[in-house]
Homo-oligomer: A and B are copies of this chain.
Amino acid sequence: MTDYIESLQVLAEKFASLQGVGKKSAMRMAFSVLELDEDSAKEFADAIVEAKTKIHRCPICGNLTDKDECYVCSDLSRDTSVICVVEDVKALMSIEKVREYKGVYHVLHGAISPVNGVTPDKLTMKELIERVGQNEISEVIIATNPTQSGEVTAMYISKYLKPLGVKVTRLAYGIPVGSDLEYADEITLGRAIEGRRDV
């Protein structure tokens, strides 16, 4: 079949090497590349090399950037005394979309999961503890994912930061806004009851 069109097969394999791209989609995308004009295909190729070469971790917070510092750290209007700790850049982007948070971030690049070989030293945990120890930090908001490894990570962070005298908080768990109680799982519902507030 397509094995006979070797360069198409090679391209499809490259697409399939990306996270979450199956073989069928990869082949569809490879075909789609053939439908681009020559210049667009060249630009696509250049964009891959450029992104890979230019983008690196922000030396302050670990966010991705193609500048010296990321756009959050270089934004003078942000409150650098509040650090929100996230597992990855996608989480950071989700919080930024809300446009409510005015502090800065710390990206761990993962969550503790010994089973998968992710120990604290594989994350930017040391950098976080140093950063909190060396700067005037009023609050650290832990925004790791509400999963088992996210929880373990949150507990680990708070264990190391609390002795430094910094206020450590965790994002609230509860029923998602606009959803129906009927469809909430028991754990979420349990947390929602536990975290109930006066009205």
The chain B residue with its CB closest to the CB of A41 is B52
Instruction: Tell me if A17 is interfacial: C-beta within 8 Å of chain B.
Output: yes
The number of chain A residues with a CB under 8 A from chain B is: 52
Considering the complex, which residues of chain A in the window 52-108 have a beta carbon less than 8 Å from any beta carbon of chain B? 52-55, 64-66, 70-71, 89-90, 93, 96-97
Asked whether, in the complex, the Cβ of B89 is within 8 Å of the Cβ of A31, the reply is yes
Q: Flag if B14 contacts A47 (CB, 8 Å).
A: yes
Asked whether, in the complex, the Cβ of B49 is within 8 Å of the Cβ of A45, the reply is: yes
Determine how close the nearest CB of chain B comes to the CB of A48; give it in whole angstroms: 4
- Chain B nearest CB from A57 CB (Å) reads 10
CA distance A93 to B45 in the complex (A): 26
The contact of A7 among B18, B32, B44, B50, by CB within 8 Å, is B50
The chain A residues found within 8 Å of chain B, CB to CB, are 1-2, 4-8, 10-11, 14, 17-21, 25, 28-36, 38, 40-55, 64-66, 70-71, 89-90, 93, 96-97
Can you offer 30 A-B residue contacts whose CB atoms are under 8 A?
Answer: A4-B65, A4-B71, A5-B65, A5-B71, A6-B66, A7-B55, A8-B55, A8-B64, A10-B47, A10-B51, A14-B40, A14-B43, A14-B47, A17-B36, A17-B40, A17-B44, A19-B31, A20-B29, A20-B32, A30-B51, A31-B90, A33-B52, A34-B64, A36-B52, A41-B49, A41-B52, A42-B52, A44-B48, A45-B45, A45-B48
